[in-house]
Each structure stands twice: as C-alpha cells, then as structure tokens.
Structure 1
Amino acid sequence: MRVAVLGGSRGCARELVLNGLAAPVPPSFTLLVRNPDTIEYTSEEKAKIKLVQGSAEDKMAVRQAVESADVVVFGIGSAMTMTLQMADPGVCSRCTRTLIEVVSELGKRPSRIVFITTTGAAVKDEIPLLLRPLYHLMLAKPFEDKLEMEQIIASSCPVDHVIVRPSLLTNGALTKTYRTASDCLVGYTISRADVGHFLFTQCLDQDTWLNKYVVITY
C-alpha cells in the first residue's frame, strides 16, 4: 500500500507513520514536509520513507506527494503561539481545499483520503461540560478552521473519505484501548499515539468508517 501523508512531521499523523513502519509489512510512505531536516524521525526511520519538500498549499508539491498514492492522510494543523493564538489561522481549510483540487485533477486518484479534524467543531455536544469553557476561550479559532475544513470535505471531496475526530490530544503512551463511534461520543482526552494506532489499523484499508466521521476518545 502506498500512503501519502500531509502533516506527518509531528502529531497524530507522525504516530500513524511510526505504527506503519513497525508493521510486519510496512506501507510505502511519502511525506510532504516543509523542512526535512527538522522532522521528528530518527535517521533509520527517515531511510524508510520518501520525503517531498514543499508546502501543503502548493499544488505542485501536493501533486508530487499524492499522485501515486493509494491512500492520502491529511494531518495538517496549526501550532499555537505563546498568546494562545493560531500561528497560521485558516491553514487546515486552505490546505484541504488545495488537496481536493489536486486530487480532482488526477487521472488516477487515491481510493480514499483520511482527514484528522477534532471533536466539538461540528457537534458541540461531543465536548464534556467541564471542558466547554476551555474550548470556547482557547480553541474558538481552530474550531472555526476545522469546521470549515469539514464543510469543504462534505461538499467537494472527489473520493471516499474518513473524518477522524479525536478529543483533546495528549502526549500519553500508546494503550490500544479507546472508544470510537460515528455518533455523539463524549470524552475528555486521547493520546496522539492511540490516534495513530487507530488511523493505521482501522482507517487505511478498512471500510467500517468509510464516508463517515468517527470520534475517538478514552
């Protein structure tokens, strides 16, 4: 299986790649990254993946990364500044639009795209009551971006897709024990490691969540 990953230098998408590299038969990974020298992989891990340098807003770079992929994973997100503002507001929706435009123009398209968004952006009831003030104060702008991203997917994604909505992300250990549902599922946190495990084991070639959204949480 050939898997192209946008946003795979860190976070949940990176954990997906690490799960894949550890598999008995690893997929062939291509990562679109801004700076190959700063991605969080060992030299041994880098040797097992193909790196394409460029921006996920650059159609030529995106095309180079995804044109031979069987599956595309979209894990783009914006870092937060010290003042709790998005470092790059709107990056998720802009890059989603670019990816969909590129895939729409391909002669041979990937069979599916797996998008990582978040709980609470489209369905507020997914957020526990105790966390709603935190989400409202700190995450309003990221939520707007993720909501627009999901709206773009729903209206124009040209291939099958999976929308993965993790709850509040942590750097906790891999447990392989978590809850998933395609309806309103309330939960507090989930580790990036467990999201990566779920992405690799259930989203790349399984049809359970195809053309659905899925919440993942503890």
Structure 2
Amino acid sequence: MRIAVLGGSKGCAREMVAQGLSKPDSTDEFVLLVRNPDHVEYDPEQKAKLTLIKGDAHDPTTVRQLVEGADIVVTSIGSGVTATLKMTMPNVCEKGIKVLLDVIGSIDDPARRPRRLVAVSTTGAIDGGEVPFLFRPLYHLALAEAHKDKKALEDHITSTAPSLTPPLDYVIIRPSLLTNGPLTGQYRTDNKRLVGYTISRTDIGHFLLEQCLDDEKVQKWVNQYVVVTY
C-alpha cells in the first residue's frame, strides 16, 4: 500500500513510520510531506526507504502531490504551546484538515483517491469525561486552545468525509496525554468513553500501524473515534 503521511517528521506518525520500516516483510510505501527534509527524525537508512515531499500541509498543491494515488492518508499534525499557553501555530489542525479534505474531494478519478483517512486527535476535546479528574485543570487551561483546534479537526472530518462522492472512510484516534515512553504494545482501546492517564507516542504509532493500516483489523473502527490509553 501507499501511505501518505502528514506530520510524519516526528511524534506519533513518525513512530508509525519507523516501526513500519523495521518490518522485514513489509511492502508498504510511506510518502511524507515535510517542511524540511533535512530535519526529519529518521536515520540515513530509514530515509533511503522513504519518499519525502517538501511542502506545507496548508498548501493544496503539495498536499495533492502527497495524497493523489495513495491508499491511506494519516495525519498527525499539531502545534506546540508557548509559555503564555498559546499555540505556536494557531488553528494548524483545522486549516490542515480543510485543505486535505478539499484536495481529496477534488480528485476526479476514484482510483487515484485515498480510500481511508486516519487522524490523530486527543482525549478531552469532544468529551471531557475521557479525562481523569486530576488532569482536568491541565486540559482545560494549558491545553484549551489546542483542544479547540482538535475539536475543529474532528468536526470537519465527521461532517465532510461522509459527504464526499464516494464517501471517504475515516478513523479518529483519541490518545490520552502523550509521553515519550517505550513501545509496549499493551494498551486499552474503545469507541466509547474510556478514561486513562497517559499513552506513549511509540504505542500510538504501534496502534496506527497494526490496527489502522490493516484492512481487516481497522473495520471495527471505521467511521468512528477510538480512545487509546494505558
């Protein structure tokens, strides 16, 4: 399969790609849209197996170059937060998903359009009950602006993807608070409210690779959200 990746230079999507590249029997092709190919977090051997497209997730031209002909699109773009609790790239997810869905919808040939969109969101943006009581001050204060952006991401996917012709299947991933912990392959998942404290980016990468890129395993999550947590 050809997997187009936005936000794959680091974080959850980077972990997915790195684990995919390490599989000796894999025939999947990973194509990444990155701002600066020289600054992606892959070693030379890994980079030799990737297709890197230099561009921006808000530029329709380079986004089309990325997604046309892909089987699956994975987006894990996001923004850091400043000392004043403002996003370093305001509305990055909302802007990016609008461009992405507009581009997919503009591809006339169904055989050249992706058949599935996988998007990394967060717990707490839609359902505050997913967040443990002790973490709620952090989520409602420090992450308020970022969560507003993730809510817009989810809203746009759920309203737009089904209305495309043909409809675009999607899976929305809601991880708990992300850490830099190790790969365990052991975590809880549910498409109903599931409360948890943390999950490593490496394990989210594992879930993306093993559950969302597999055409059989993904069926239980298609056109739904899934909470992933320890």
What root-mean-square deviation, in Å, do the aligned CA atoms of Structure 1 and Structure 2 show? Answer: 0.9
1:167 matched residue in structure 2: 176
Secondary structure at 2:3 match in 1? strand
1:188 and 2:197 matched: yes
Q: What pairs with 1:1-218 in structure 2 (closer than 5 Å)?
A: 1-23=1-23, 24-106=25-107, 107=109, 108-157=112-161, 158=164, 159-204=168-213, 205=215, 206-218=218-230
Taking the aligned partners of 1:207 and 1:111, their CA distance within structure 2 comes to 13
Secondary structure at 2:141 match in 1? helix
Residue identity in the other structure for 1:153: I
Count, aligned residues: 218
Q: Which runs of 5+ in 2 are unaligned?
A: none
Taking the aligned partners of 2:183 and 2:124, their CA distance within structure 1 comes to 23
Residue identity in the other structure for 1:181: D
Taking the aligned partners of 2:76 and 2:134, their CA distance within structure 1 comes to 27
Taking the aligned partners of 1:83 and 1:64, their CA distance within structure 2 comes to 36
8 Å Cα contact 1:79-1:87 kept in structure 2: yes
Q: Which runs of 5+ in 1 are unaligned?
A: none
TM-score by length of 2: 0.93
Residue identity in the other structure for 1:195: I
Taking the aligned partners of 1:69 and 1:81, their CA distance within structure 2 comes to 35
Secondary structure at 1:207 match in 2? helix
TM-score by length of 1: 0.98
Taking the aligned partners of 2:21 and 2:61, their CA distance within structure 1 comes to 27
Taking the aligned partners of 2:83 and 2:27, their CA distance within structure 1 comes to 38
Secondary structure at 2:178 match in 1? strand
Task: List, as ranges, runs of 4+ consecutive aligned residues in structure 1 with deviation greater than 4 Å.
Answer: none
Between the two proteins, what is the percent identity of the paired residues?
Answer: 55
Taking the aligned partners of 1:180 and 1:79, their CA distance within structure 2 comes to 26
Residue identity in the other structure for 1:63: R
